[in-house]
Structure 1
Amino acid sequence: MTETPTPAATPAPAPHHPYGTPTTPHVTVRGEAHLEVDPEIAHITITLTARGTDRRTTLDDLTRRNTTTLDLIRTYGDAIEKLETGTLAIRPELTRHGRAERIRAYHGSIQLTATLSDFTTLGELIARLADQDLTRIDGPWWALRPTSPHHAAARRQAVQGALQRAREYAEALDTRLGALLELSDTGTHGSPRMARAAFSTQAMPFAGAAPEAATDAAPVDLEPVRQTVDAQVEASFTLIPPNLG
């Protein structure tokens, strides 16, 4: 009869002591970074409106104004990183008096969002857009790109700060760091700082006069708002057991 060999017992894993022991003390520290940097992009919102007593005419006016605006923005080429169309709305305005519901006029609006990376043309574009009929400009909102190297720089600085702080604690105990146990990212974010302005042109309803040439508008002087980037980490290290005698 052949005996089946008994498998060797698996050694039990060494117990983990998250808070350290007298022979392997731990130190946990926080590292922080706060950077202030120049913005990389700017967002503006363009709201186009139209009004008329006929729904189709109102929509045609809005469509024509939208096409003119898109063509103008696209002339800036690579300075425009992104151009998006948002909400389009056509709504009736009812008369306030009388029993019967009668439509007094139609109101149309369409919203565009443009992202620019060339700030030298931003003021000129805003002025030319605001010089158009029934056009509202909101912005600019200054920001960093999500892939900006400033975010990585802040994270590195936070890690270096945690390491330096841990070393200072070790020096205070007349010992040194052993190994890194854990590194936690507790927060890395940019805090967008905005300089919001609104530019708009208004026209009398149903006026037939053509607006002035957009190229006659003087550029708007804009100063980019510096952005803040914050990063926080927590790091745990082992310490060479200090002599506390």
Structure 2
Amino acid sequence: MFQRLVALLFITAVLSEPECSKFHYEEQTLNKMIRQEIAMEKLRADMAATQQQVLDALGKLAETTNQLRDDWNNERTNLKRVTNDLIEETNKSVRTFAAEMEKLKGPTVAFRSKDLVDLTPSLGETLVFKTTTLNEGLGYDNKSGIFTAPVAGTYTFSVQFCVHGGKNMYYAIVADGVEIKKGWFCDEKWSTCYTTDTVAVLKKDSKVYVKCSSSSSLLVTSSSYYWNTFSGVLVKS
């Protein structure tokens, strides 16, 4: 195209006529057309270059977008994995803590009994409470009245006796043959219920029971409104 324009200019220069002639006018028109053609050619070249730049920029933008999407997917996968690992580790820690707390808590040992068999016990007699309302650990025997410690530990024991007015109740709580609590309940006029307790550190299979500790005349009463009771619980193993 450019060679054709140059040839036209050359012919125009050779065949130039006086400025007032018809050829002079045509020459100017041709020169104007050539300049316009050159300008259009440059414009097309600039537009093509701009278009290529836009296409290049769009290509880079697409690459960047794809990279960001891939990075986001990777981060989301990593975050999910880290979250799952954290949840699993937390659950493991909770299970471990619960197991340790269970170990610290130790076994449950507790008993509660009522209904004294002999309401006029004699000196040295083991007091038997025939109705067992609680026996976790199966330590209390309501036939013999004796509690046998299923595990070693610190225990607390409690007894309640309801005594007729004017009568006496002498008692002792015994652990492995040793009296660890002794007392005397009485009221000159009124029938009254009395409660006492004690603490003992026992070995496994230690024996604990309540006995009558005096030969004085005794009379212990019971009804649906008040009970004679013997109970105990493991405080710490």
| Greater helix fraction, Structure 1 or Structure 2 | 2
TM-score if structure 1 supplies the norm length? 0.21
| Greater strand fraction, Structure 1 or Structure 2 | 1
TM-score if structure 2 supplies the norm length? 0.21
The structure that has the greater radius of gyration is 2
